[in-house]
Structure 1
């Protein structure tokens, strides 16, 4: 894939973290010294007492987007900017993340690579969800159907390409991307799936029956879910947005044709990240 000439960097900061101002100013200095133009979104700018552009203006003017925070900040940036199809680079300000490629102490050394084109772009699948005639919503990790309170279970009826195939009784159901396989999916007993696989993952949460097992499907299938009994459940999108699903309504979920493009250093290695995050191979 031919890489574009990157000149303008649109920056988003982790919300409610005004202490990021010092690092942003440091990043801005490093980037402008290399000839980049750095613009900040208005919400992030207001948080640190600076001026910025509104979301649409920033996305239109930027060649790439920079997420400064953690995986949650990157996921939010990806979901909100999906219509603009901008590559995203994640800078991690905390512990090692699965999606944020660079630790803050690695950024200064990486920026010349960004200027010269010495980086890779990885395509991560996203899910598109829709309820009735409401606008679509998008998830990079998962769409979760869960009960509204701690008491009782929910009954979900699942369809694949319009054909009824299963009923789930329990705490809920996770519909995840391969990228999201290491999020709530793995906690619920789902498989770790290579993030560039073309799959949709269905993982029951605390199923009432032991015969209900995680299911991995090709991304060509359309998944539909309805409540099997009167009531409603909660739909959680990437842990960042909630929507109700009422009895008689149907949520339809499918792989979006174009997902999100994440920028990685040429040395980025998914299996190394797995080993470090999960301490695989450690016997001490």
Structure 2
């Protein structure tokens, strides 16, 4: 049986240690995955930086744009942080992603490294669960000028510096005033991001099929300021009214030193990220494992 994905890209996220050495077995892991992909009848290609860092030159290499243009599938070897970055960069190309996790099970990198062969073989031949996640588009307006613009898969966070006091933020939804909030900050989270920082700050978990966002204040001065679930068809505007050392974070992308009067505008992006999971994958099973819920039976 021929695979349905002709050309498959492989991306690994590996950081050199202070002494310049690569983590143990990194080169062997990526090489084994590439050889397995080839054995299934696909054409493997390595992301250029991955190939360079690991000194792997037996396969064609492509940059991210090249992967988006030329590859039918992308395997991401790492953790959820790596997947977030790759997902944002490939979203405009619609390239589906599969996550192989080297450490603990991730929310979106859900295939354990030690069982990737059994999980990947049916996926490469068309047997998988498709999981499409929306992206957020955010920009920082300073007067009439956009000074920063980014996509986010998890969340947009406006918060105070580590040594400063509370910030005051004015919040609007579709141009309608909601509230002025004094807090350590505010999170606008997608369903994907609702199990990240927003959950730690007391927000609800949103099922990924819901077309919604959640606004979660971080340590609000007034305890009646509670999380609010919104439709993701709305535009959220957050204006910096008061405070010092305020920053905005878009997943792991940051803009420090926001000024009073800056407005952070958040809307639904035209792009989405498509994750492929092994057949039988369950969002609730992932929650049970990651959050260590008592399963209470079979």
Matches of residues 167-182 of structure 1 in structure 2 within 5 Å? 167-182=180-195
State the Cα RMSD in Å.
1.7
Contact 2:97–2:276 at 8 Å: present in 1 too? Answer: yes
Q: 1:42 aligns with which of 48, 62, 77?
A: 48
Q: SS of the residue aligned with 2:242?
A: coil
Structure 2 residue 67 is the aligned partner of structure 1 residue 58: yes
Distance (Å, rounded) in 2 between the aligned partners of 1:187 and 1:82? 27
Which structure 1 segments of 5+ residues have no match? none
Q: Deviations over 1:132-158 (max 9, x none)?
A: 334631111111101123221111111
| Aligned residue in 2 for 1:154 | 167
Q: What does residue 11 of structure 1 align with?
A: 10
- Are the counterparts in 2 of residues 6 and 64 from structure 1 also a CA contact under 8 Å? yes
Q: Please state how far the C-alpha of 1:229 moved relative to its aligned partner.
A: 2.4
Q: Kindly indicate whether the alpha-carbon contact (under 8 Å) linking 1:12 and 1:66 is maintained by their aligned counterparts in 2.
A: yes
Q: Give the conservation status (yes or no) of the 8 Å contact 1:6–1:114.
A: no
Work out whether 1:209 is the aligned partner of 2:222.
yes
1:110–1:123 CA distance, 2 compared to 1 (3 A): same
1:241 counterpart residue number: 253
**Kept in 1: contact 2:98–2:275 (CA 8 A):** yes
Secondary structure of the residue aligned to 1:56 is: helix
Contact 2:75 2:97 in 1 (8 A): yes
Residue 87 of structure 1 deviates from its aligned partner by: 0.7
Output the CA distance in 2 between the equivalents of 1:42 and 1:167: 47
Structure 1 range deviating more: 257-266 or 16-25:
16-25
Establish whether residue 252 from structure 1 lines up as the match of residue 251 from structure 2.
no
In the alignment, the residues of structure 1 paired with residue 164 and residue 148 of structure 2 have an alpha-carbon distance, to the nearest angstrom, of 31
Q: Select 1:221's aligned residue among 200, 220, 234.
A: 234
- Listed one character per residue, the Cα deviations across residues 217-273 of structure 1 (whole Å, up to 9, x for unaligned) are 1111100011112655201111x2111332222111012233111111111011111
Deviation track 1:181-202 (CA, whole Å, cap 9, x = no partner) reads: 1100110000011122110110
Query: Where do 1:1-284 residues align within 5 Å?
Result: 5-16=4-15, 18-19=22-23, 20-51=26-57, 52-132=61-141, 133-134=146-147, 136-229=149-242, 231=244, 233-238=246-251, 240-244=252-256, 245-281=258-294
- Aligned residues of 1:129 and 1:137 also touching (Cα < 8 A): yes
Instruction: Answer whether contact 1:156 1:168 (CA < 8 A) is retained.
Output: yes
Runs of at least 5 residues in structure 2 that lack an aligned partner in the other structure: 17-21
- Structure 1 residue 83, shift from structure 2 partner: 1.7
Instruction: Measure how far apart 1:66 and its partner are.
Output: 1.1
How far off its partner does 1:92 sit? 0.6
* Counterparts of 1:282 and 1:84, CA distance in 2: 39
Q: 1:227 to 1:176 in 2, by over 3 A?
A: same
- Could you say what secondary structure the match of 1:256 adopts? strand
Q: TM-score, normalising length from structure 2?
A: 0.89
How far off its partner does 1:88 sit?
A: 0.7
Would the aligned equivalents of 1:222 and 1:253 in 2 still touch at CA under 8 Å?
yes
Count residues in correspondence: 279
Q: How far apart, CA to CA, are the structure 1 residues paired with 2:259 and 2:110?
A: 39
